[in-house]
Amino acid sequence: KSDTPQFDFWLVIATLEKCKPVRIPINIYAYGKKVINSGKLCAGVTLTRKNGKWYATLVVETINKKTKASKIIGVDLGIKNLLTTPVQYFGQFSEKLKDKIKQNDLKRRR
């Protein structure tokens, strides 16, 4: 964290000279601050130069909260299988519905 109001943080990078690190002032967008405050900042940084500007990529370790299971599932409409859920339940449909789907597919292909 920075003591100066102009910069959010100081990035301290070790050099080959003992006890002479390089200190780089950086500003972080609101989303980045939120991510840093929600987790643990890990050692290591990647510096990248794009279009004459320098960017620092920081690694933050966060803990994901487990979500509660619900009775709502996502359904994938496929080509090989008509319907598939994440737990591999396959839909059972009447021939009438299958014929209607085939007719709609043929109309779209024309």
Q: Which tens digit of pLDDT belongs to each residue from 45-56?
A: 888 999 999 888
Rounded to whole angstroms, the Cα distance separating 56 from 70 reads 39
Element (H, E) at 41: strand 40-50
For residue 50, what pLDDT is reported?
93
Whether the model pTM is above 0.85: no
For residue 39, what pLDDT is reported?
86
pLDDT band at residue 88 using 50, 70 and 90 as cut-offs? low
Give percent of the chain with pLDDT exceeding 90. 8
